[in-house]
Amino acid sequence: MTLDLDHYPVLSLAENPDQLRKLPQDKLKQFSNELREYLLACVSQSSGHFASGLGTVELTVALHYVYNTPFDRLIWDVGHQAYPHKILTGRRDKMPTIRKKGGLHPFPWPPESEYDTFAVGHSSTSISAALGMAVAAEKEGLDRKVVAVIGDGAMTAGMAFEAMNHGGDMDKDVLVILNDNEMSISENVGALNSHLARLLTGSLFNSIRDGGKKLLSNVPPIKEFAARAEEHIKGMVVPGTIFEELGFHYIGPIDGHDVNGMVNTLRNMRKIKGPQILHVVTKKGKGFELAEKDPIKFHAVPKFNPKADLPKSAPGKPSYSAIFGNWLCDMAAQDDKLMAITPAMREGSGMVRFSQEYPQQYFDVAIAEQHAVTFAAGLAKEDLNPVVAIYSSFLQRAYDQLIHDVALQNLPVLFAIDRAGIVGADGPTHQGAFDISFLRCIPNLVIMVPGDENECRQMLYTGHKLNQPACVRYPRGSGKGVDVAPQMTALEIGKSRTMRDGKSIAILNFGTLLPEAEKAAQALDATLVDMRFVKPLDTQIIDSLQANHDLFVTLEDGAIIGGAGSAVAEYLLQRQYSNKLLQIGLPDTFIMQGTQEEMYAELGIDAAGIEAKVNAFLGK
C-alpha cells in the first residue's frame, strides 16, 4: 500500500524533525491537518491503533518543532498515541507495516529508531525513565532536555505518582506533559488558560518568582507566606495544586489542538529549570467523528472504510474473553458474594455485560494492578469471593502482591488470566509468555490450563469454588469451536484427560494448543494427554505412561524455561525415570509481533512444527 504524497503538500516537506523545524511556524496548522489525514488514510487501509494517535497530532508536531530530538529525549508512555511520532521520524512510508510480522513495532522501540528513546508498551513508566535520563543529562552537562508524555489514564497508576514524588524531591530539569483527553475539564480550556499558560511560563513571571524566593530566602515566615500566596493565586485558576505539592511547577490546562499555542508555551517551558508539568487537554479520535464519539471502539481497528462505521464482526466462535464474561454473569446469579475486579480492562476482558448487570459487584480500579490484587485479598479476607480479570503480561506488575498478600495467606482469589501465550500484533510487551514460569513456584496456588472453551468455563467454576488461590489462563481470540455447556461442574484437582492412545510417544499438552497437538498426535501415532493442571501436576498419568512410552513430549504456549515442561522434567528426575523428554514451547527470547498463526508456525508450535521437532529429536 502506498499513499500519494501529492495530497499532502506540507507534510511531504518534512520526513523528519530536522526538516519540520525548518518550516515557518504559520505552516504548522496545515502540517498537523495533513498529518491527521495521512494517519487516517494509512490506518484505515492497514489496521492498527487509531483514536489515541488522532488526539496527539498537534502535541507531537509541537514537541518535535520545539525540542531538538533525538538529542533532546522524548519518552512516550504506553505508546498507543505514538503513530504521529513514527510518521514524523522517518518511518512514514513504512506505516502500513505496523503491527505486522517483520514490520514496524506497534510501540516506540529503540532498535527501530534513535527517536524512540525508551521501549514502552505497559502503562506509567515514562516519568521514572525520564527522571533517570534527566540525572544523566545533568551529569553530561550538554543542556539536553528530557520530556515525558503521559496520559490521564496512565497517571492513575501508583508508579506514576511514585515517580512524581521522587522527581519533585530531586529537583532535576524534566518536563512531564499530562495528556488529558477526558471531557470533564474541557470548559477550562480556551483563550484564558492559553494566555495564563504563556504568562506563567514567561520570563517576567519566573524572574519575579525566582527573584522573590532568593530575596526572601533568609526570612522564613515571609518566605512561607510568599509561597502560599503564589500557590493560592494559581490554585484559584488552575487545578494543579497536587502537582505543586509534589514539587512540580504546574502549567495549564491548555488546548492540545492549538499547535501554535503549544509551540509558544513549550518554548517558554524549555527555558525553565527544575521539574515542570504541562497539562494538555486533547480529544481522542480528534478529526474523525466516529472515533470522537466512540474512542474505545476505535482504539485499535482492522481495515475499514473511513466513510462508514467499523464493520460488525460476523457471528462466529465466541472468544475466550466472552466465555469468561458469560461465566461471570452466570456465576454472579448464583453467588452474591462474587466480586469482579479489573485494572482498566473492562472491554478487553469481556466484562461489559457484567458491569451493567451487577454494578455493585464490579470494580474497575484503573491502571493499578498491584492495588487490584491486594484489594482482592482484602475482599477474600472478609469472606467475599473475588475474581481478578487480568492480562498475563499485566499480572507481572502485581507479582509481589500475588505472593505476599494472596498466596502467603492462602486466600481464595481467582485469577482469570487473559491473553496468555502468543497475543499477536501487540508484540513483545504484551506476549503472555511468562505466567506459568513465574506462577508455578508459588506455594498454595492451583494453575489450570484449559484445552478448549468448555474446559475454560468449567475451570473458572472450579477455581471459584476452591478455598485457596487459583489461576485459569487462556489465550486471546477464540478456540476451535467446542460447545460450552451451560451447566458448571467442578473438576477433580490435578486430574488430566486422555484424548488418544498411541504407541511409544506420549504428548502431554498444557493449554489451548490442543488442536495442534491432536493433529500432531495423529501423524505421529502418539498418545495424547490434555494435562489440564500445571499445578498440581497429574503425576499418576506420568507413572502409568512411563513404562511403555520411550519419549514424553510436553507442549505449552509459554516459556520453556521454568514452564509446565519443566515440572514434568523435575518429576521424571525425582522418580529417576529413564524416559526421554522433549519440551516444546516458547524459546528464551522476546517474541516479536505477527499474527498468532504466523508466530505459531515460526516458533514450531503448530502441528507441523510439533511433528518436525519430534522427528528431529528422534533423528528421523
Spatial contact of 590 and 619, defined as CB atoms under 8 Å apart = no
DSSP summary character for residue 478: B
Tell me how crowded residue 233 is: count the other CB atoms within 10 A of its CB.
Answer: 10
Element (H, E) at 493: none
Q: By three-state DSSP, how is residue 108 classified?
A: coil
Tell me which residue has cell 520530556.
147
Nearest to 595 by CA among 97, 50, 101: 101
> Could you tell me how far CA 434 lies from the centroid of its own chain?
15
From CA 29, how far away is CA 535, in angstroms rounded? 59
Catalytic residue set: 284, 369, 397
Residue 128 · residue 79 · CB < 8 Å: no
Joined grid coordinates for residue 107: 510501540
Please, which residues have CB within 8 angstroms of residue 556's CB and are 6 or more apart in sequence? Answer: 436, 449, 509, 510, 511, 513, 563, 564, 565, 584, 585, 586
Q: Which three cell numbers stand for residue 2?
A: 502506498
Return the number of other C-beta atoms located less than 10 Å from residue 511's C-beta: 27
What is the identity of the amino acid at 535?
A: K
DSSP one-letter string for 528-572: EEE--EEES--HHHHHHHHTT-SEEEEEEEEESTTSHHHHHHHHH
Question: How many beta carbons lie within 10 A of that of residue 56, not counting itself?
Answer: 29
* Residue 227, H or E segment: helix 220-237
Q: Where are the alpha helices (DSSP H) in 335-391?
A: 352-357, 369-381
Rounded Cα–Cα distance for residues 194 and 265 (Å): 8
The label of the residue with cell 500484533 reads: 425
Q: Are 507 and 585 in contact (CB under 8 A)?
A: no
Decide the pairing of beta strands 414-418 and 470-473: parallel
* Cross-strand pairs, 280: 179, 254
DSSP state of 390: E
User: What's the CA dihedral at 237, 207, 272, 199 to 10 degrees?
Assistant: 30
How far is Cα 76 from Cα 70, in angstroms, rounded to an integer?
Answer: 13
Instruction: Verify cis geometry, omega within 30 degrees of 0, for the bond prior to 443.
Output: no
Of residues 49, 118, 135, the one with CA closest to residue 87 = 49
Beta strands in 393-457 (DSSP E): 414-418, 446-448
Cell of 431: 506476549
DSSP secondary-structure letter at 421?
Answer: B
For residue 237, what is its C-alpha cell? 485558576
Sheet containing 580-586, strands listed edge to edge, beginning at the edge strand earlier in sequence: 497-500, 527-530, 505-510, 551-559, 580-586
d(CA 36, CA 54): 6
